[in-house]
Amino acid sequence: MQDAAMNREQISMSPYGDFLGIKIIEFAAGKAICSLELEDHHMNTGGRVHGGVLTSLADTAAGVAVRSVRPEGKLSATTDLSISFIRPPMGKSLVAHAEVIHAGKRLFRTEIAVYCEDKLIAKTNATFMIVDAKKS
């Protein structure tokens, strides 16, 4: 994989990802690694990381992996995402490893593993639809 700083203009973080604090660590054709340093606003009322934060990190990493290989002039949108929470994260940062496992003409399928302190905490599958970019 290559350092994300090398192609920031090619693959950049979404405004929502920026809002959450998600960082692109590495990406290559069909693969991406994203991270998130946990803060108080990522927690639920029970003091644990909110499941939506884990889901957003997984979806964002998958989106970066898809963007690295989707056809030029196209956009992608998540059409389906399922997540299995394995254990609660016990640490200060999360890392999501995403990979495109199928790149069809209209649908791309991805698998994502989310880790905390090198322990697997969630597995995710997501499907993305490839669409034409709107002309302005």
How many domains in the chain? 1
Output phi, psi for 91, to 5 deg: 175, -170
CATH code of the domain containing 32:
3.10.129.10
CB neighbour list of residue 119: distance below 8 Å, 6 or more residues apart? 87, 90
Q: Which residue has better confidence, 88 or 2? A: 88
> Helix H segments across the chain?
15-20, 51-67
Q: What is the pLDDT of residues 45-64, one digit of tens each?
A: 999 999 999 999 999 999 99
The residue segments making up the domain with residue 91 are: 2-132
Average pLDDT, rounded, for the chain: 91
7 has pLDDT over 60: no
pLDDT given for residue 4 in this prediction: 43
CB neighbour list of residue 9: distance below 8 Å, 6 or more residues apart? none
